Amino acid sequence: MKKILASLFFMYLLVPASFGQNDGVLKPALGVSFILNDFKTANAIRTTSLNAVIRDKKWAKLSQMKPGVAITYFKGIKKYIDFAGTIAGSFVNYPMQNYSFVDEKFLLEGNASLYLKMTSENYWVQPYISLGVGGHKYRSYWGAYMPLGLGMRINFWDEGYFFVNSTYRAPVTTETASYHFQNSIGIAGALGKKKEVKLIPPPPPPPADTDGDGITDDKDKCPTVKGVAKYDGCPVPDSDKDGINDDEDKCPTVPGVARYQGCPIPDRDKDGINDEEDKCPDVPGVARYQGCPVPDRDKDGVNDEDDKCPDLAGTAANQGCPELTEEVKKTVAYAAKNIYFETGSTKLQSKSFKGLNDLAAVMVKNPDMKLDIDGHTDNVGSDALNQRLSDGRTAAVKAYLVSKGVAADKLTATGHGETSPVADNKTAAGRALNRRVELKLHYY
């Protein structure tokens, strides 16, 4: 008896549905589903056989499957072919051929499939097989696979349905993808609006005065809005839509405000900021300074937004900072050319002091100046030794200048070791040129 009832129920599901689409093609729909990733069963089949898994009941239990969620877009292509695009996410410990992970991380998957159906959308049930291509991202690895599966949709209500399916995912990139099953159950609903039945409007009523303005509808150009005879039953127009009718608007074609009799708030300096919001109404400016020009605190002709030295008068060519005089440039060049250290040491020789003293005097007199100290060595010795030597020598120069009154935050000392030679290290003369300290004086 149970078998008979089950057969009758299945035959009923195959009866054409009363709410089925006329053309039998699936409308675009969006679905959400609960998924279960099963790696154990797929591995058991591959290491033994499908028959052995079924015989020995070695398939995975629900507790051994990893859950997740998925969103799927469905669209019918033909009566018996649908397209499905799916994005799914779950937290799993994904097995890879050459990698071993100890914790679960987020697995993001996306695939596109074709559903080959046994029935059209005019039936309650659509069994189908699916095949497609997909890819996933797990940790920093990307993988590709081919999902092959079986599924079924059941139309339990109009414009929506319940679906279940199971796919076997065969890897394309075998190093970053693994064989596994993914089972899902979900619901979906059609996108877009239903077609509405167009109603035939009733015949128009006989001439009347709908708006009660004393002008009958057959002569009234605005029969639902009270108006005046001067404008054929329409209200006095407001051409610029500013709420002030044209008969009272001194600027009828330009939107304005009542306090200016329908004209816009004036903008005397034409900077796009009206006088009521403009703190400098007679001088063109910008909105971020409330209608005033961009300030120039040091009055050097370079506004503060473009001025690298906004409180120190300079030149446009030097981005608002003062130009270094030739005398200062010579002082810097002399100091750089006459920096000497004890051999293999970071100790300054006394013959370095004159140039450094003159440079320190310039910087103390001009506290806005900054100095970059870059140290270099030849290639004699190890890289690490040369790096420490260049670091120590630039630090020694910085310490000396600080001892002469230069602010430490105006000095930047950087050792480059043997990485930036200016001459051939194969000759004694070249190595001598490579053992150097470079000084760059600037304002920004």
Query: For residue 84, what are its two tokens?
Result: 């499905």
**Is the pLDDT higher at 15 or at 140?**
140
Q: What is the mean pLDDT of residues 208-232?
A: 80
Pairing status of strand 180-190 against strand 29-38: antiparallel
Q: Note whether residue 344 is domain-resident.
A: yes
Q: Note whether residue 235 is domain-resident.
A: no
Interatomic CA distance for residues 181 and 403, integer angstroms? 74
Question: Which pLDDT belongs to residue 312?
Answer: 87
Question: Which pLDDT belongs to residue 184?
Answer: 95
Q: Note whether residue 212 is domain-resident.
A: no
Residue 375 has pLDDT above 70, yes or no: yes
Question: Which pLDDT belongs to residue 197?
Answer: 52
Strand partners, 188: 31, 161
Question: Which pLDDT belongs to residue 194?
Answer: 62
Residue 303 CB contacts under 8 Å (≥ 6 apart), including other chains = 293, 294, 295, 296
Q: Note whether residue 197 is domain-resident.
A: no
Percentage of residues in the chain with pLDDT exceeding 70?
Answer: 93
Pairing status of strand 105-117 against strand 29-38: unpaired
Buried b (16+ CB within 10 A) or exposed e, 206-240: eeebebebebebeebebbeebbeeeeebbeeebeb
Question: Which pLDDT belongs to residue 372?
Answer: 97
Residue 26 has pLDDT above 50, yes or no: yes
User: What is the DSSP code string of 7-32?
Assistant: HHHHHHHTSBPTT--TT--PPPEEEE
> What is residue 196's DSSP assignment?
P
Which residue segment(s) compose the domain that 90 sits in? 11-190
Question: Which pLDDT belongs to residue 62?
Answer: 86
pLDDT confidence band for 158 (50 / 70 / 90): low
Among the candidates 134, 166, 190, a domain finishes at 190
Nearest in space to 440 (alpha carbons), one of 403, 399, 388, 397: 397
Q: Note whether residue 408 is domain-resident.
A: yes
**What pLDDT digit, counting tens, does each position of 69-121 carry?**
999 999 989 989 999 999 999 999 999 988 888 899 999 999 999 999 998 88
**Is the pLDDT higher at 38 or at 124?**
38
Structure-derived torsion over alpha carbons of residues 146, 147, 149, 155, reported in degrees to the nearest 10: -140
Q: Note whether residue 321 is domain-resident.
A: no
Query: For residue 274, what are its two tokens?
Result: 């009206």
Q: Note whether residue 221 is domain-resident.
A: no
> What is residue 59's DSSP assignment?
S
Residue 176 CB contacts under 8 Å (≥ 6 apart), including other chains = 96, 97, 138, 141, 142, 143
**What pLDDT digit, counting tens, does each position of 285-299 carry?**
888 888 889 898 888
- Mean pLDDT, the chain, integer: 87
444, 309 Cβ separation under 8 angstroms? yes
Among the candidates 190, 221, 236, a domain finishes at 190
The residue written with tokens 């005065």 in the block is: 209
Q: What is the mean pLDDT of residues 381-394?
A: 95
Question: Which pLDDT belongs to residue 404?
Answer: 97
- The winner for highest mean pLDDT among 41-45, 158-162, 170-174, 309-313 is 170-174
Among the candidates 157, 190, 223, a domain finishes at 190
pLDDT confidence band for 398 (50 / 70 / 90): very high
Residue 135 has pLDDT above 60, yes or no: yes
Structural domain total, the chain: 2
Residue 249 has pLDDT above 50, yes or no: yes
Interatomic CA distance for residues 300 and 113, integer angstroms? 68
**What pLDDT digit, counting tens, does each position of 262-285 carry?**
888 888 888 889 888 888 998 898
User: What is the DSSP code string of 267-281?
Assistant: -TT-SSS-TTT-SST
Backbone CA torsion sign across 415, 417, 420, 421: positive
Q: CATH number for the domain including 331?
A: 3.30.1330.60
366, 314 Cβ separation under 8 angstroms? no
Residue 400 has pLDDT above 50, yes or no: yes
Question: Which pLDDT belongs to residue 362?
Answer: 96
The answer to whether residues 182 and 331 belong to one domain is no
414, 375 Cβ separation under 8 angstroms? yes
Query: For residue 115, what are its two tokens?
Result: 């559903």
Count of other CB atoms within 10 angstroms of residue 304: 15
Q: What is the mean pLDDT of residues 138-159?
A: 89
Phi, psi of 437 (to 5 degrees): -120, 125
The beta-carbon contacts of 421-426 under 8 Å, at least 24 apart in sequence, are 421/376, 421/378, 421/379, 422/376, 425/378, 425/379, 425/380
Q: CATH number for the domain including 111?
A: 2.40.160.20
**What pLDDT digit, counting tens, does each position of 339-353 carry?**
999 988 999 999 999
Q: Note whether residue 417 is domain-resident.
A: yes
Interatomic CA distance for residues 321 and 86, integer angstroms? 59
Residue 200 has pLDDT above 70, yes or no: yes
